[in-house]
Chains A and B, each alone.
Chain A
Amino acid sequence: MTEPVFAMATLKTDPNIAGPDDFYEELIGLHRELTDAQSALVNAKLILLLANHIGDPDVLHAAMAAARADIVG
């Protein structure tokens, strides 16, 4: 497996969320009573909203690489 190249200067991977347990609970709760298809749509919308908020293509690129790392070499 080749090591993915992270732009560490731009993508924050150190803890950055105040109240991580609250965030995680809210994220799971977001999908309560949704079908798998609805959940997938909510996730996609969430990714798009957050991606637009971030905007910086280097950060987005690094986040995509980090998300795919360890899954496909």
Chain B
Amino acid sequence: MKTHTNPTYEYRRAPELDGSTRHCQVVIVGAGPVGLVAAIDLAQRGIPVLVLDDDDTVSEGSRAICYSKRTLEILDRLGCGEPIARKGVSWNVGKVYQGSELAYQFDVLPESGHHRPAFVNLQQYYFEECLVQRALELPTLSIRWRHEVSGVVPDADCVTLRVATRDGDYALTCDWLLVCDGARSPVRHMLGLDFEGQAFRDRFLIADIHMTSDFPAERRFWFDPPFHPNQSVLLHRQPDDVWRVDFQLGWDADPELEKQPERILPRLRAMLGPDAKFEIEWASVYTFQCRRMQKFRHGRLLFAGDSAHLVSPFGARGANSGVQDADNLVWKLDLVLRGRAPEGLLDTYDSERVAAADENIASSTRATDFITPKSAVSRTFRDAVLSLARRHPFARKLVNSGRLSVPKVLSQSPLNTPDSAPFDGAMVPGAAAADAPVRGPRGDWLLEHLGGGFDLLVFGDVVDSARAGELARRPIACRVVQVGGAQRDDRMVVDDHAGLVAARYDGKPGTCYLFRPDQHVCARWRAFTVTAVHAAIARATGQ
């Protein structure tokens, strides 16, 4: 049984093969999740963008299946959050078992009042199909399928690409090259760039099975279950009655042998019982690595997603962090391309996302040390934690089956303006905006009213029309989004009917938050002054 058939996107002969020449502002290598998100964001801003991909379809196999709340919020801004959230299986609860007993369970999103759930599970091929569909709606975006980058010559003022197709090779030039060509990144290899880190000596089998079952939609993780002794197992539900089972095999397992159905079926029978009816859709044996490039910006080349950094899958920090890379990069590149910010702003893409990659790698390495202990004493402590977790709440905090992806708080960013007054809560400079229910002109959620450009969220009617107009007319415009208070001019006013905007932002009358175009807080004040906002925008744009 196949629940999904990969589409084939049409190859087209390049006009450059027939004598025309082309210079692009932006070329993106790789039409995977990260390349497509970057392309859509750029095209929505009116920047012409060309995507080159060496294949003509979406992901073979389900691969990345857990998409985080932050990813959905980013996709909402790009016009494809809703189809992905609707098709995906939402979940907030994770359960951890030792042996056959529940050691503990956790709620990834323990509070209500958010538009999007903590996670949706969705096969990567559906995720990519939604993005391709959105990409096709945008007039300045084109994707060339089966156009393979075979050479890259970076110069100080432009990048020259060699592209191989079945009809022959051609050359292209561009101002900026976004390298989103995945973990094995051919472009990174061609340029001989570093990719330091460590490989883990363990192997895992992933199998997607089609099965009708009333198991709830939650993440289940077993340490040492009776059906797979001494190893771990992870279970996730996907749409179309497809289930992802991930078996730890150990380093000595033979990857070719373990991929065979006659080896997989007994493992699944032991887990699901002799009477379970299921069919294998897809299976793969993988090892994993934690690595990153030393720098994500190399002159006019900007690396994003797996080409720049790799983590273990425990924590869903691969695709989700790549989407955040694109979200961080595109608004900066847009300002640079329009001549409104210096090229140095792109170095903050590097510093902010390197910090995020380090956080993800540290988190992933810690989870890996717990799941795959590297020494007898490490294994003893792991078992001690699991044994204590059943009865003692403190030990549950130590159980690590993967700390699930949350957006990086860019607290060390040079783009932040430090606080000059005390604030409570989590919305520190550098944090991604927390959502909250509102009633407003764009919908029922706060995040629908933020993003794309700079936004000043103000509590109460504290910015007069002249000042709001001045902010809107600057070369780097800033919109006023007002929480409560009287409607002036045509600004957006949202009704904080549940009081959660005020609660989550420690908002008092006069409080202002400045958000970057990627919805991260970059400054906040207890009172509005137009000069402080101008200065904070200048700082947040590298000026």
Q: Which residues of A are at the interface with B, using a C-beta cutoff of 8 A?
A: 37, 40-41, 44-45, 47-49, 52
Number of A-B contacts (CB under 8 A): 29
12 contacts across the A-B interface (CB closer than 8 A) = A37-B380, A40-B380, A41-B380, A41-B383, A41-B387, A44-B377, A44-B380, A45-B387, A47-B384, A48-B384, A48-B398, A52-B394
- Given A45-B388, A52-B392, 9 other A-B residues pairs in contact with their CB atoms under 8 A: A44-B377, A44-B380, A44-B381, A47-B384, A48-B384, A48-B385, A48-B388, A49-B388, A49-B392
* Cα A37 to Cα B387 with chains together (Å): 14
Give the docked Cα–Cα distance between A47 and B398 (Å): 13
Collect the chain A residues with CB atoms within 8 Å of residue B395's CB: 48, 52
Residue of B nearest to A53 (CB): B394
Shortest beta-carbon distance from B38 to chain A in Å = 40
Contact B377–A40 (Cβ < 8 Å): yes
Give chain A residues whose Cβ lies under 8 Å from the Cβ of B383. Answer: 41, 44
Provide the bound-state CA to CA distance between A54 and B387, in Å.
Answer: 20
Are A44 and B384 in contact, with the CB atoms below 8 A?
A: yes
| B382 to A: closest C-beta gap in Å | 9
- By a CB distance below 8 angstroms, the chain B residues around A48 are 381, 384-385, 388, 395, 398
CB–CB B394/A41 < 8 A:
no
Q: How far is the CA of A40 from the CA of B394 in the complex (A)?
A: 20
Per CB-CB distance, the 6 closest pairs between chain A and chain B, nearest first, are A44-B384, A52-B394, A45-B384, A40-B380, A44-B380, A44-B381
CB neighbours (8 Å) of B384 from chain A are 41, 44-45, 47-48
Residues of A close to B385: CB separation below 8 A: 48
Q: Which residues of A contact B394 (CB under 8 A)?
A: 52
Q: Report the minimal beta-carbon distance from B114 to chain A, rounded to whole angstroms.
A: 31
**A45 partner residues in chain B, CB cutoff 8 A:** 384, 387-388
When C-beta atoms are compared, the residue in chain B nearest to A51 turns out to be B394
- Shortest beta-carbon distance from A34 to chain B in Å: 13
* Distance (whole angstroms) from the CB of B340 to the closest CB of chain A: 45
Nearest CB of chain A from residue B253's CB, rounded to whole Å: 24
A30 shortest CB reach to chain B, Å: 14
Contacts of B392 in A (CB 8 A): 49, 52
State the CA gap A41–B394 with chains docked (Å): 17
User: Please, how many angstroms separate the alpha-carbon atoms of A21 and B383 in the complex?
Assistant: 30
Contacts of A37 in B (CB 8 A): 380
Nearest-Cβ distance from residue B91 to partner chain A, whole angstroms: 30
* Cα distance, A41 to B387, chains bound together (Å): 9
- From 376 to 411 in chain B, residues with beta carbon under 8 angstroms from any chain A beta carbon are 376-377, 380-381, 383-385, 387-388, 392, 394-395, 398
Q: Closest approach, in angstroms, between the C-beta of A35 and any C-beta of chain B? A: 12
Whose C-beta in chain A lies nearest to the C-beta of B394? A52
Contacts of A47 in B (CB 8 A): 381, 384
In the complex, A53→B398 CA distance in Å? 14
Measured CA separation A50–B372 after assembly (Å): 25
Nearest chain A CB to B45's CB is how many angstroms away?
Answer: 45
| A39: min CB distance to chain B, Å | 10
Closest B residue to A55 using CB positions: B394
**CA gap between A40 and B380 in the complex, in Å:** 7
Roughly how many angstroms separate A56 CA and B383 CA in the complex, as a whole number?
Answer: 24
Task: Please measure, in the bound complex, the distance between the C-alpha atom of A46 and the C-alpha atom of B388, giving whole angstroms.
Answer: 10
Digitize B357-390: 1 where CB-to-A-CB distance is under 8 Å, 0 elsewhere: 0000000000000000000110011011101100
Q: How far is the CA of A1 from the CA of B392 in the complex (A)?
A: 39
A41: which B residues are within 8 A, CB to CB? Answer: 380, 383-384, 387
CA distance A17 to B398 in the complex (A): 28
- Minimum CB–CB distance from B378 to chain A (whole Å) comes to 10
State how many angstroms separate the Cβ of B177 from the closest Cβ of chain A: 45
Shortest CB-to-CB span from A48 to chain B, Å, is 6
Chain B residues with CB under 8 Å of A44's CB are 377, 380-381, 383-384
* B396 → chain A closest CB, angstroms: 11
| Nearest CB of A to B290, in Å | 24
Q: Which residue of A lies closest to B398 (CB)?
A: A48
Docked pose: A48 CA to B392 CA in angstroms: 11
In the assembly, what is the distance between CA of A40 and CA of B379, in Å? 10
Q: Report chain B residues within 8 Å CB of A40.
A: 376-377, 380
Please report the C-alpha to C-alpha distance between residue A49 and residue B381 in the assembled complex, in whole angstroms.
12
Distance (whole angstroms) from the CB of B294 to the closest CB of chain A = 30
